[in-house]
Amino acid sequence: MKIRTGFGDRLFQIGNATLIVIFSLATLYPLWYEASISFSSSAGALKGGLIFWPREWTWEAYRVVFSSSYIWLAYRNSITVAAAGTCLHVLLTAMTAYPLNKRGLPGGKLVTFLILFTMLFGGGMIPTYMLVKSLGLINSLWALILPGMISAFNVIVMQSFMRTIPEEVEESATMDGANPLRIFFTIILPLCKPVLATIALWECVALWNNFMQALIYLNDKSLYTLPILLKQIIAGQQLMAESGQYTDSSTETVIAATIIVTIIPILLTYPFLQKHFMKGTMLGSVKA
């Protein structure tokens, strides 16, 4: 049955669509601006103003970026932190949420309260730094992974999703002789793929863009991640070129090229997780 819409409804839809397009373009333009600057020459980048297309197209900025060993070291460190941190975070979050969903778990309510308490109060920067230092993690990539290993918010999201799994599934597996570990790894985790993908994406983006902890805990240039490397370039410490001289590029174009190179992995990862991301977000919020 075709539903007729009046003039007011059509006008509202047109206005909505126009606003969405305007906001989308306003959100996309900064990324497009950096991409255009990265492919522009030094003279073109210094002209300023709105840029909708590269001025005097050149690959020189990317040649400078990829010719330096710093970018590859930073890439290696960022990938290591993001991959290891995401895997450990997702696994430990699931292992924390699963037993807390069990009825009659001794001390379950107390543990849940302590987890929720961390969402309201934290130790602060100085106590956290002293803890990391006492563990011998200063100037180590583990300092970017271990302190934030489990997030209270992610545990709650995981618990909410696990409540949607029928109890009969576990009861049937138990009757077949499966122990709790086998049930968790072979039944529960596969059923939690949407929420696992959602949390993995959140954590991967957070670790990839982790700037403050890397700035505080890392001193060795060989351990710098991409955000720290970008900060060094913006601060004028041109680590991208050994000679410090650019031929057909400027610091502005090199910064833009580094930004584009930095965000490419996240842009390539999101499309593969988008389906699970949307499904996990919706299902995890239904029975909170």
- Cα torsion for 184, 186, 187, 189, to the nearest 10°? 70
Local confidence pLDDT in tens for the 288 residues of the chain: 455 666 777 888 888 889 998 988 888 888 888 888 888 877 777 776 777 788 777 887 888 778 777 888 888 999 999 999 999 999 999 999 988 888 778 888 888 888 888 888 777 788 888 888 898 889 999 999 988 888 888 898 888 888 888 888 888 888 888 888 888 888 888 888 888 888 888 888 889 888 888 889 988 888 888 888 878 776 654 444 444 444 444 677 888 888 888 888 877 777 766 666 665 555 544 444
CATH 1.10.3720.10 is held by the domain 60-283 = yes
pTM: 0.75
Kindly list the domain boundaries of the chain, sorted by start residue: 60-283
Spatial neighbors of 3 by CB under 8 A, at least 6 apart, are none
- Cα torsion for 273, 275, 199, 181, to the nearest 10°? -100
Alpha carbons 157 and 89: distance in angstroms, whole number? 13
Q: Are 265 and 240 in contact (CB under 8 A)?
A: no
**Which token pair is 199?**
């949390």
